[in-house]
Amino acid sequence: MRDAVFFTKKTLCVKGELLDLSKPVVMGILNNTPDSFHDGGRYNDLKSLCDRAENMLAAGTTFLDVGGYSTRPHAEEISEKEELNRVIPVITALNKQFPAAFISIDTFRAGVAQAAVEAGACMINDVSGGQMDEKMFETVAQLKVPYVLMHSRGTPQTMMHLTQYENILEEMLDYFHYRIHLLRELGCNDLVIDLGFGFAKTIEQNYFLLKNMAYFKALNQPILAGVSRKSMIFKKLEITSEQALNGTTALNTLAVQNGASILRVHDVSEAREVIALIAAYNSL
Q: What is the mean pLDDT of the chain?
A: 93
Q: Tens digit of pLDDT for each residue in 92-145?
A: 999 999 999 999 999 999 999 999 999 999 999 999 999 999 999 999 999 999
Q: Give domain status of residue 211, yes or no.
A: yes
Q: What percent of the chain has pLDDT over 90?
A: 86
Q: Give domain status of residue 132, yes or no.
A: yes
The Cα–Cα gap between 41 and 222 comes to 31
Catalytic option among 153, 179, 229, 264:
264
Q: Give domain status of residue 6, yes or no.
A: no
Catalytic option among 153, 229, 230, 272:
230
Q: Give domain status of residue 1, yes or no.
A: no
For residue 38, the model assigns a pLDDT of 46
**Residue 3 pLDDT class (50, 70, 90 cuts):** very low
Q: Tens digit of pLDDT for each residue in 157-203?
A: 788 889 999 999 999 999 999 999 999 999 999 999 999 999 999 99
Q: Give domain status of residue 12, yes or no.
A: no
pTM (2 d.p.):
0.93
Residue numbers of the domain that contains 261: 24-282
10 is catalytic: no
> Residue 39 above 60 pLDDT?
no
Q: Give domain status of residue 124, yes or no.
A: yes
* Count of domains observed in the chain: 1
The Cα–Cα gap between 89 and 85 comes to 7
CATH, residue 254: 3.20.20.20
235 is catalytic: no
For residue 41, the model assigns a pLDDT of 53
The Cα–Cα gap between 232 and 246 comes to 13
